[in-house]
Amino acid sequence: MLDHGTLNIPGRTSTINSELDKYKVRQAAADRAKAKELGAKLKANKAEARELWDRYGEAMLQELGPRIVLKDGDTRDKAMRDMKATLLDWVKWQPARFIRLVNEYRDGQL
């Protein structure tokens, strides 16, 4: 991190561009490493969520489906389809959320 107080010292700004460039390179490398780590974690979570869906998905739908509060004009079948679509969406795009849901389902907290 650059100290803005040292920027006011005469002669200090002569090498500021090279220091900024080095700082930007370090930040970019750290960002790439963090993105790679997050990508690997997401991939692992997606695989786990898919496995949990295969194991518990239909059972969850059958058990939790009757508890769905219907909106005006909705049928139970439409509500079940919407619930299944939402859960599959979580498996694909928000796997950590689905994993938490399955853990609560297994622990009997739902």
Neighbours of 48 (CB within 10 A): 16
CB 102 within 8 A of CB 60: yes
Give the whole-angstrom CA distance, residue 108 versus residue 110.
Answer: 6
pLDDT tens across 51-100, in order? Answer: 999 999 999 999 988 888 888 888 888 889 999 999 999 999 999 999 99
* Closest-CA residue to 70 (of 59, 85, 83): 83
Six-digit token string for 31: 């960002």
pLDDT tens across 45-54, in order? Answer: 999 999 999 9
- What single letter denotes the amino acid at residue 105? Y
Tell whether the model's pLDDT for residue 110 goes beyond 80: no
